[in-house]
Chain A
């Protein structure tokens, strides 16, 4: 091995890389961004939780208020604890305004009503409520809280149920994210090939219009995207024994709309790339942030405002929200979160399509 030859190759590689500014920026900027974002989302945790305290009947209302005040002292700093009327408590749980409610009956043990769609939150609240119940019980009997195991608490679920585990909670994220990611990859590379092999240029000087070309691409690749969505949803639900509380049709439709958007985003981004290498560079810029910041794998609840704002312009946010609402929450198309989410996804798909058509140029390949 001659050092001279090794240096010859090494120098050429350095020279070549120095002239590819985009790649250079990528290897420094993107990891920095990723590390910062990951730190941020991991610190955010499950976010602020709200536990309500309500009395089963009117005679106990004063006790509920006292209990809420006492619990505030022992709860974690980021947990809000408030006394409410029973009916108002149920409403807030259904609307997503609270995660759990401790109900004090006139006699016997308190029970815990849970929103139920986020297994980690359910577990955390159950643990806390057991301690709280123990305290309430002891206070009633005029004794100090006894050490030892907390009593089994009767639990009631507004949505979903105790059978949900961590995979159930993540399944909506799997379904949305993998569908989105692979379709984006497929489309951007397929369209880039069309550009590189010169057929796109050839197509663009036929009387066919740009929007027709892109819409055709959307339909053609969309066919495979839908097939993929079908396979992912089926495998996730059947093979992983996911608990489905809603109608699978809405899940499939949502993933279909999401992946149509991915087809169009893939085309749009490939109009800015000259080779496969540059297409790959769009993944950390366009796809990974959606996994981190859209509530896909990490809940949005505890994140800073600017991330929550950013998540609003990410299709994945809406897809995960809808799929989660249907699968775990049992929501149907008649619920706002579902039909509004679907409309937003359709809007994204159309927006990317039109943007793709506008950026498609006849210029040099």
Chain B
């Protein structure tokens, strides 16, 4: 059973077609990276999966359930691009609140999530006193505290320093080994290298899919960035 599947998904915003027949199938335990330039449709795809938007055509499924259904919601964690936290509450209070929204009231769960993002020393600080990067990490902790089977991360490590980013990725890897599917949108090629599978999206369509190695090979380049530019360039010519 795929954790997440999109079949021929179409999404329009007025006259703009954000997704144009996008199909994806992501198995459980996989880290899947969505790459693409600004406006390619990455965030739209994630928000459709989260149930924050509705499709205009095609179908989205989470563990074979409709987005927004009780089962889908209970098994999903979502970290939006903006931090989305209560500034006046402390780090621990924020994390514990969202965990409790999933019926997970154990104090240990919030503490574990705070430790996951390396903020145990600031657990008692109000969120408004934190730096932008730290807020991102609290936001991540809020998304994972209830141990979801499906984790949607919209540019999760923006503003996070390289050492901590490496540490977070180690932990994502552990979660995936435990069966969690992680969908990451990113601009950072170093991050893309760490994903099991990459999907390159351009103008709402899947341009190429495979491991980082496979994509480089297909484009005939040494690095992912070059591969992306080559593939996008040939698509532009075709268009």
Chain A positions within 8 Å of B, measured between CB atoms, are 197-199, 201-208, 362-364
A interface majority secondary structure: loop
19 A-B pairs whose Cβ atoms sit less than 8 Å apart in the complex = A197-B82, A197-B85, A197-B87, A198-B80, A198-B82, A198-B83, A199-B84, A201-B80, A201-B84, A202-B80, A202-B98, A205-B73, A205-B76, A207-B74, A207-B102, A207-B103, A208-B101, A362-B68, A363-B52
CA distance A200 to B1 in the complex (A): 31
B142 at the interface (CB under 8 A from A): yes
| B residues neighboring A (CB under 8 Å) | 47, 50-53, 68, 70, 73-74, 76, 78, 80, 82-87, 98, 101-103, 142
Complex Cα spacing A203 to B98, Å: 8
Instruction: Tell me how far the C-beta of A196 lies from the nearest C-beta in chain B, rounded to whole angstroms.
Output: 9
A206 and B51 form a contact (CB under 8 A):
no
B206, chain A: closest CB distance, angstroms: 23
Contact of A202 among B68, B78, B87, B103 (CB under 8 A): B78
CA distance A204 to B84 in the complex (A): 12
Q: Do A205 and B84 have beta carbons less than 8 Å apart?
A: no
From residue A279, how far is it (CB to closest CB) to chain B in Å?
Answer: 19
Lowest 8 CB-CB distances: which A-B pairs, in order? A198-B84, A206-B101, A202-B84, A198-B82, A207-B73, A208-B101, A207-B74, A362-B52
- Give every chain B residue within 8 A of A362 (Cβ-Cβ): 51-53, 68
Complex Cα distance, B85 from A206, in Å, reads 14
A149 to B103, CA, bound (A): 79
Q: Which B residues touch A207, using CB under 8 A? A: 70, 73-74, 101-103
Measured CA separation A207–B102 after assembly (Å): 6
Cα(A199)–Cα(B51), bound, Å: 15
A199–B73 touching, CB < 8 Å: no
Look across to chain A and name the residue whose beta carbon is closest to the beta carbon of B71.
A207
Chain A residues within an 8 Å CB radius of B73: 205-207
Residues of B with C-beta under 8 A to A199: 84-86
Contacts of B142 in A (CB 8 A): 202
User: What residues of B have a CB within 8 angstroms of the CB of A206 in the complex?
Assistant: 73, 98, 101-102
Please report the C-alpha to C-alpha distance between residue A198 and residue B98 in the assembled complex, in whole angstroms.
Answer: 13
Shortest Cβ gap from B136 to chain A (Å): 12
A305 to B50, CA, bound (A): 51
Distance, CA A23 to CA B125, complexed state (A): 39
